[in-house]
Amino acid sequence: MQKRKLGKSNLQVSALGLGCMGMSFSYGPPKDKQEMSTLLRAAVERGITFFDTAEVYGPFLNEELVGEALAPFRKQVIIATKFGFDLSGSNNRPGAAGLNSRPEHIKEAVEGSLKRLKVAVIDLLYQHRVDPNVPIEDVAGAVKDLIRAGNVKHFGLSEAGVQTIRRAHAVQPLTALQSEYSLWTRTPEKEVIPTLEELGIGFVPYSPLGKGYLTGKIDENTTFDSTDFRSTLPRFTPEALKANQALISLLGSIAQRKRATPAQIALAWLLAQKSWIVPIPGTTKLHRLDENISAVSVDLTPDDLRSIDVAASKITVQGARYPEKLEQMTGR
């Protein structure tokens, strides 16, 4: 597995990470713990060293799973987790919990994450969503204190806007920004990616396969269980799924030419954008893990990338990423 550095931080990780959320949360009921532990260990054996979790996934179940499964490989892996939601009495839905990034809450959250992850230090700690009620300087200051105390190594933000990124970075240098980025969510290209490049911050795209859509396995006839949070997303209504099939056709035609799968083309496209981009596709299946890892070997030439851009520019993606309440939590 190739390695990449996240920005100027010298934090070196596998070129592809593994998003662990879906093992415990969001995409239906939690999966079998034993099976998921086996999958996490299989990822390490295949060269993945970068694992992404958060206290809100479950809540807490995902950190416990990741901590237990990866305990034997602690020296080989980098585990990223997140704080920022108020989990007192929240129900099992992303964003159902209110935000809380008060410094004292951050310290409490980190204490809990350290225990659940079975680690002495958190490799990369993200603020999960920007809290409009707490100045970002206070958040960065709290994480700076945790870094000084030896509880955290690196600081990151998720779904933050460029002004917030700059203000946080001035207090405690950011190692990474995690935001949604893929061929069907290209908003970071306008302002965020140039800012990260200027400041030397790495980029970790989540949902690099469009929550499964870019694999080509989902169409307007796909139904989602009420426990699957895609059932609440405007982009996953039958009308939007049908309207966005042009993107799947584009990926499919390139995949055929390259003897790859649409998912591999979508990931290879992301990897080709910048050398400091590390996508974190999630999966609960071993054959999908292998398929995703093989994307690292797919070589898209400058001509391929140009033709993808030209074709993609003619496609208008239908449907918002999130319902309004969750959308408001992004880009702050």
Domains of the chain, first to last: 3-209+273-299 (3.20.20.100)
Q: What is the pLDDT of residue 95?
A: 53
Q: Amino acid identity, residue 167? A: R
Phi then psi dihedrals of residue 49, to 5 deg: -120, 0
Residue segments in the chain with a per-residue pLDDT below the cut of 50:
92
| Distance in angstroms (rounded) separating the CA atoms of residues 184 and 175 | 25
| Distance in angstroms (rounded) separating the CA atoms of residues 192 and 29 | 34
DSSP one-letter code for 277 = B
Report the half-sphere exposure of 5 (CA within 13 A, side-chain side). Answer: 7
Q: Amino acid identity, residue 292? A: N
Q: Which two tokens stand for residue 70?
A: 């990866």
**Cα 115 off chain centre by:** 22
Q: Amino acid identity, residue 315? A: I
**Intra-chain end-to-end CA distance of the chain, in Å:** 35
* Cβ atoms 79, 119 nearer than 8 A: yes
| Distance in angstroms (rounded) separating the CA atoms of residues 152 and 74 | 15
Q: What is the pLDDT of residue 91?
A: 52
| Distance in angstroms (rounded) separating the CA atoms of residues 255 and 262 | 5
322 is catalytic: no
Q: What is the pLDDT of residue 97?
A: 72
* Cβ atoms 246, 252 nearer than 8 A: no
**Cα 271 off chain centre by:** 14
Q: What is the pLDDT of residue 88?
A: 77
